[in-house]
Structure 1
């Protein structure tokens, strides 16, 4: 072993030995931040096992201004002592990625996820998981931990990872696009129509998809109260990419790097919010403007009591209820953003569709 390697390994070991002092200092400097370190005695010495961290600003930001969506993923920590970084991110009011909590563990397994999520549950004071939706990939240890700790929550599986499993035995661009069409269908009749199409294309593919719980990957089966229709775990992947450089450094430098990234992210968003011309985020405005454009091609007829029957060009007709903020297509229901049919109905009395966005 070279001298440089020995020095580098010594640096890694030295930083682990200073980890407890770092966590105590962070707790004093940043009140309400929760840092938990787990260690075990090995050879008469305390050896690091796991670390959990949830910065106070992240926790408060989630509780005050984010949707009840919890995206879970893990990534490798590079270096002499390989380990895993487990992370929880969520989505803010501008449909942006918002870091919530993260942990360092020796491996990504059921025990590690269960330990991490137990502390997170206590941190967020989650007593009834029915009010939350969890987005994750198909890792068995993660799925089992979420099922045990949050049995009443809505569990979604990332469509990208689901397709990776599907593609092992069912290849072809046509089948891929059809699977995406099934996932994007927002109503049950639409969902079953798309399932019939895949049956005609390839019966084994239909069997594979029929054996998967549609509430975990198809919008037609998503509950409406979360106002979030995402199908992919891209938010977690975006966070993992953003801390890529920090993941190759010794533990204290890595933790500081992640903390610095979150600090700069929040500062830049504060600055961007001050430049907004509306109370709405630009990403939400972009979706709403597109729906307004499509709504110009719809024909809406007033049915009384703020209800409308809306015809989408020469296609289906949907009932829009402006009082209940619902549409027969369910797109408005599950996203919180007025769909093209709702925008058409609102335009009948020169209203502003932005007034009908979910809080």
Structure 2
């Protein structure tokens, strides 16, 4: 898979999403993976490894190999708060460049909310989550401090948990010291896990072969889709850009020089410097895509908005990422299992499955769903009430018969 690293170093953003998922084949084990985004924010797998378990030793080995390939490039890592990942990143990479997935932090926050406030009403819980969103999505240090104080006024215990155990500097936008292109979750890693869901049920050799075929097809389709781009950026980035342009219609821009523009909104006035591609609201610097304030300034100067989009989103970068393709591997000279001798088995010419141990307790057969996932609610066609179907309806006086 060296070709993927070459494509990554050519034009992709220096950000990696790392995660592990369990294999449900007869040999079990765990698959560790690293993925990133291409110029259109689509999934671009980088590397994976099949290990016995998700522990410190295996993660250190996996990240050490990634470190050798990235070399001196400063890479930002995004993951959940798995203890083994945290320990491995601290040993192999720069700890300051390790960001946490906000969705996992939010789930932990909701669990802590239930512990601290028993019998909490649903609307109060939603208010707590909105206050946490304000802490995460603020751009300024002053706004961040204000959001934390609002959470403290709502619940001092939750604010104390956030400051002592929440690792705010790992997921809050205004507190993380390095650039992460507005990617605050591990959705890319989760997409990879879902992408290989079928292959995870097969044996290791079959998984590797099927994944290689699937990956080659992904690279080929992405290269074809790139030829259908109507603008200098991909469809997903263009949609975001057009939304920012629409929001800029409500802003007033005043020219203060060759490149400086003052943009006034309903609540805040910001300064935009088009030469340095900077906005004092900081959203442009965080994402690399002109924010609504920048769009208003660009419109005032009658400039082409696509020239102010960062290079990693342009079609030229997408062409660099998908410039190469995978080469098929011949298998006509592979040994036949039926013709093996005792010497062949002693020389270990086959790829053996990892040695795994059975975990304690009853085996979990169903995946634990996230509390933020949509849950199907049954609705009775007889009484129009939720929570049951027609066959189990016990309403004595239904309004609808």
Instruction: Give yes or no for TM over 0.5.
Output: yes
* C-alpha distance in 1 between matches for 2:38 and 2:25: 33
TM-score normalised per structure 2: 0.72
Which one has the bigger helix percentage? 1
Q: SS where residue 77 of structure 2 aligns?
A: strand
Distance, in Å, in 2 between the alignment partners of 1:223 and 1:339 is 20
Query: Residue in 2 aligned with 1:220?
Result: 174
Question: TM-score under structure 1 normalisation?
Answer: 0.80
Higher relative contact order (CA 8 A, sep 6+): 2
Alignment deviations for residues 308-342 of structure 1 (CA, whole Å, 9 cap, x no partner): 11112x21111111111111111000100000000
* Greater mean deviation of Cα atoms: 59-68 or 170-179: 170-179
Q: Equivalent residue for 1:127? A: 72
Residue matched to 2:235: 282
Candidates 212, 216, 233, aligned match of 1:263: 216
Q: How does 1:131-146 map to 2 (within 5 A)?
A: 131-146=74-89
Aligned length: 300
- Match 1:351 to one of 290, 303, 307: 303
Q: 1:149 matched to which residue of 2?
A: 92
In 2: Cα distance, 1:153 partner to 1:199 partner: 26
Partner SS state of residue 270, structure 2: strand
1:162-311 to structure 2, matched below 5 A, reads 162-171=105-114, 172-211=125-164, 212-223=166-177, 226=179, 228-311=181-264
Shift in Å, 1:353? 1.9
CA distance in 2, matches of 1:132, 1:153: 11
Q: Secondary structure at the match of 1:267?
A: helix
Seen in structure 2, the aligned counterparts of structure 1 residues 153 and 92 have a Cα distance that, compared at 3 Å, is: farther
Structure 1 CA distance for aligned equivalents of residues 215 and 180 of structure 2: 25
- Structure 2 distance, partners of 1:213, 1:74, is 21
Q: Distance in 2 between matches of 1:310 and 1:223?
A: 26
Structure 1: how far apart are the matches of 2:295 and 2:34? 34
- Cα drift, residue 222 of structure 1: 3.4
Greater strand percent: which structure?
1
Residue deviations 1:6-32 (CA, integer Å, cap 9, x gap): xxxxxxxxxxxxxxxxxxxxxxxxxxx
In the alignment, the residues of structure 1 paired with residue 180 and residue 287 of structure 2 have an alpha-carbon distance, to the nearest angstrom, of: 4
- For 1:197 and 1:119, the matched residues in 2 are separated by 44
**1:320 aligns to what?**
272
Q: For the Cα contact (< 8 Å) 1:134–1:153, is it kept in 2?
A: no
In the TM superposition, residue 56 of structure 1 has moved relative to its aligned partner by 2.5
Q: Is the 8 A contact 1:72 1:86 kept in 2?
A: yes
1:300 is paired with a residue whose SS is strand
Mapped contact 1:227–1:336 kept (Cα < 8 A):
no
Among 293, 300, 304, the alignment partner of 1:341 is 293
Separation in 1, partners of 2:177, 2:60: 25
Question: 2:257, 2:15 → 1: CA distance?
Answer: 36
